[in-house]
Amino acid sequence: MPIFKKPDFRSESKKRDMPEGLFQKCPGCGEVIHHLALAENQRICPKCDFHFSQTARERLEHLLDPESFEEHDAQMVSVDTLKFKGMATYTDRLKTYQKKTGLKDAVITGTGKIEALPVAIAVMDFNFIAATMGSVVGEKLARIVETGTSERLPVIIISASGGARMYEGALSLMQMAKTCGALALHAQAKLPYISILTHPTTGGVSASFATVGDVILAEPKAMIGFAGPRVIRETTHQDLPPNFQTAEFLEEHGLIDMIVHRKKMRSTIADLLKYLAPKK
Amino acid sequence: MKLQPLDFEKPIFELERKLEDLKRHSRAQDINLDPEVKRMQAKIEEMKRETYDKLTAWQRVQIARHPQRPYTLDYFSSAFTDFIELHGDRLFGDDKAMPAGLATIGDHRCVVVGHQKGRELKENLKRNFGSAHPEGYRKALRMMRLGEKFGLPVIALIDTPGAYPGVGAEERHISEAIAVNLREMMVLKTPIISVVIGEGGSGGALGIGVADRVLMLENAYYSVISPEGCAAILWKHRSHAPEAAEALKLTARDLEELKLIDEVIPEPLGGAHQDHEQTATILKKTIVKHLKKLTEMPIEKLLAQRYAKFRKMGEFAGDVSKNGT
């Protein structure tokens, strides 16, 4: 029996160098980035400009003038109207995600200022059940758009979503009509709506409020589409074109106005609003 | 065409076949089997009532998809008269999955649009199985604008498994085509009635479904996702579609209870495919009843009611501030 136990350098050093969650590997270039470095850079890879996902709070912090945000309907929560029985109940899912994200549901709405210009703004958070749209998302969006109409404010919606929320059945589907309806009245009042598409914006969200903006902006490489690529491949037995359903593909096909780097988003919105916002 | 039984209808079809045998036997052998025939007929009636009175959600989905169920063009020539088909979106093409045009129902001249499926392969390829492309939704909106301009109400018949998931559809922006319809239908200055006559498949259905009255045939379904799609995601396998159909609350009665549709239109016993003529008659009567009311309403009131109806849809809690901050 040896007097000294052979120290296990390998596992030791691994643990010291890569504490879980502190580092992230960039899907764009493979670079390993510390989470603080990433946070400091608005969650953009410093090496290749890959845009990592951001929480709704992070986005609001970077887009709005400091201290200008006033949140609306912060306490609104989803209810399990259908008593949905799947492998997990809807109530359980909601609780899990509320705990995990600290959010009540998948969108934060309110009023704020961008370079001193007042706006009504909504930001979806993909971390909450893939930012699917149920009654709460639909209702909060409809309300903030109505606030925009009554207070004559431009509306900014930053989308990211897996689509409609299945757990609420057709109630979710009708949120598409509800949000587009609110935007129709906002448009009739000749007020601007800027829609910003981030990774990924799909399904019922892409087929409703996200694509009816007066101006539609997208973050680089964001996946944007109605049907998922797997469904399309299975239905059509067709090879998908390169870059299919990316922001770049949509721009190329004339479906969006422009791709905007995250660090330029705030100033781009402000520049657009200088043309489009109602004169005071 | 001979009716093909659905799985749960097989016992009924089997008994009906036996009844025919019995009658033939009685005639051929000249034996009086009337008591037996009567007993069997009563049994069949009872069996039908029992089966069709408590159909599960999944059974209704199967009836909604029945290949012998009346389709949009069938109604355009049965419930409606003098249909003139108008083609194309004036931008890209003519979507055969979404025929549209002008037609008359009762005393009302209308604009009509709807999803169209095919009954056999060739027709289905032409109609793309009832799945419209962006040009279909854009054609539908073009027709609705005709209705608005010439003071004609719009009738939209919904029967689609969903908008088409394909490369071309994405390249021509199916999302935008549907979204624009949702927005524009909400403020279209003419009465709109949508009827789900078969499958109400998600956004593809809603794309012509923002209306002053949303009606549904008794065995139609209307859902945010197909039962198979939902099962594949939440149960990890498509074979759980019957459970998903139940969970999604997609039947006409469920949706009426949730106040997402305005009225359920009853079907003949066993479903619309058993009696096309009777179904068309009931459909016509119901549409005309609503048209009469809607066409008499001042347009501003109509639009306010349309908006308020959809605005109310949704269930939530924790609403401490009714109006913003």
DSSP chain A: --SSPPP-HHHHHHHHH--TTTEEE-TTT--EEEHHHHHHTTTB-TTT--B----HHHHHHHHSPTT--EEESTT-EE--TT---SSS-HHHHHHHHHHHHS-SSSEEEEEEEETTEEEEEEEE-TTTGGG-B-HHHHHHHHHHHHHHHHTT--EEEEEEESSB-GGGHHHHHHHHHHHHHHHHHHHHTT--EEEEEEEEEEHHHHTTGGG--SEEEE-TT-BEESS-HHHHHHHH--PPPTTTTBHHHHHHTT-SSEE--HHHHHHHHHHHHHHHSPP-
CA dihedral B124, B126, B132, B136 (to 10 degrees): -150
Q: How confident is the model at residue A87 (pLDDT cuts 50, 70, 90)?
A: confident
Closest Cβ opposite residue B203 in set A81, A171, A204: A204
Residue scoring higher pLDDT (B177 or B21):
B177
Contact between B180 and A209 under an 8 Å Cβ cutoff? The reply is no
In a domain, A214, yes or no: yes
Q: Is residue B131 predicted with pLDDT exceeding 90?
A: yes
- Ranges A21-30, A145-154, A187-196, B253-262: which has the least confidence: A21-30
Closest chain A C-alpha to B159 CA, distance in angstroms: 16
- Same domain for A140 and A231? yes
- Same domain for A87 and A33? no
- pLDDT tens digit string along A156-177? 999 999 999 999 999 999 999 9
Q: How confident is the model at residue A9 (pLDDT cuts 50, 70, 90)?
A: low
- Same domain for A163 and A103? yes
Q: Cβ B224–A177 below 8 Å, yes or no?
A: no
- Same domain for A260 and A216? yes
- Same domain for A42 and A118? no
Residue scoring higher pLDDT (B318 or B175):
B175
pLDDT of residue A81: 95
Q: Cβ A183–B183 below 8 Å, yes or no?
A: yes
- Same domain for A95 and A223? yes
Q: Is residue B320 predicted with pLDDT exceeding 90?
A: no
Q: How confident is the model at residue B54 (pLDDT cuts 50, 70, 90)?
A: confident
Supply the CATH number for residue A98's domain.
3.90.226.10
246-285 of B, contacting A, C-beta below 8 A = 247-250, 255, 258, 260
- Same domain for A161 and A33? no
Closest chain A C-alpha to B50 CA, distance in angstroms: 26
- Ranges A22-31, A151-160, B244-253: which has the least confidence: A22-31
Q: How confident is the model at residue A14 (pLDDT cuts 50, 70, 90)?
A: very low
Percentage of residues in chain B with pLDDT exceeding 90? Answer: 79
pLDDT of residue A8: 60
Q: How confident is the model at residue B124 (pLDDT cuts 50, 70, 90)?
A: very high
In a domain, A11, yes or no: no
Closest Cβ opposite residue B224 in set A172, A208, A244: A172
Rounded average pLDDT over A101-117 = 97
Rounded average pLDDT over A41-49 = 94
Query: Quick one: closest CA in B to A214, which residue?
Result: B180
Mutate: best of B167, B173, B175, partner A, most A CBs <10 A: B175
Backbone φ and ψ for A221, nearest 5 degrees, come out as 65, 5
pLDDT of residue A19: 55
- Ranges A195-209, A230-244, B2-16, B47-61: which has the least confidence: B2-16
Q: Cβ A173–B314 below 8 Å, yes or no?
A: no
Q: Is residue B75 predicted with pLDDT exceeding 90?
A: yes
Structural domain total, chain A: 2
Last residue of a domain, one of A52, A71, A99: A52
Q: Cβ B173–A255 below 8 Å, yes or no?
A: yes
Q: Cβ B319–A73 below 8 Å, yes or no?
A: yes
pLDDT of residue B28: 87
In a domain, A9, yes or no: no
Closest chain B C-alpha to A148 CA, distance in angstroms: 11
- Residue B76: which residues within 8 A CB-CB, separation 6 or more? B83, B99, B101, B103, B112, B114
Using an 8 Å CB-CB cutoff, list chain A residues near B202: 164, 173, 204
Contact between B244 and B230 under an 8 Å Cβ cutoff? The reply is yes
- Same domain for A34 and A139? no
Using an 8 Å CB-CB cutoff, list chain A residues near B176: 211-212, 255
- Same domain for A86 and A113? yes
pLDDT of residue B79: 97
In a domain, A82, yes or no: yes
58-77 of B, contacting A, C-beta below 8 A = none
In a domain, A255, yes or no: yes
Last residue of a domain, one of A52, A70, A98: A52
Using an 8 Å CB-CB cutoff, list chain B residues near A69: none
- Same domain for A146 and A219? yes
Q: How confident is the model at residue A2 (pLDDT cuts 50, 70, 90)?
A: low
Domain boundaries, position A31: 19-52
Q: Is residue A13 predicted with pLDDT exceeding 90?
A: no
Q: How confident is the model at residue B324 (pLDDT cuts 50, 70, 90)?
A: very low
Percentage of residues in chain A with pLDDT exceeding 90? Answer: 86
In a domain, A10, yes or no: no
In a domain, A218, yes or no: yes
What mean pLDDT value characterizes chain B?
94
Residue scoring higher pLDDT (B320 or B122):
B122
Q: Cβ B175–A226 below 8 Å, yes or no?
A: yes
Q: Cβ B166–A236 below 8 Å, yes or no?
A: yes
In a domain, A3, yes or no: no
Q: Is residue B323 predicted with pLDDT exceeding 50?
A: no
pLDDT of residue A77: 96
- Same domain for A48 and A96? no
Q: Is residue A15 predicted with pLDDT exceeding 50?
A: no
Q: Is residue A3 predicted with pLDDT exceeding 90?
A: no
**If you count residue pairs, one on A and one on B, with CB atoms under 8 Å apart, how many are there?**
211
> How far apart are the C-alpha atoms of A166 and A164, rounded to whole Å?
6
Contact between B192 and B144 under an 8 Å Cβ cutoff? The reply is yes
- pLDDT tens digit string along B199-220? 999 999 999 999 999 999 999 9
Closest chain B C-alpha to A181 CA, distance in angstroms: 5
- Same domain for A133 and A76? yes
Q: Cβ A171–B260 below 8 Å, yes or no?
A: yes
Q: Is the Cβ of A247 closer than 8 Å to some Cβ of chain B? A: no
Q: Is residue B183 predicted with pLDDT exceeding 80?
A: yes
Mutate: best of A111, A176, A188, A193, partner B, most B CBs <10 A: A176
> How far apart are the C-alpha atoms of A175 and B155, rounded to whole Å?
22
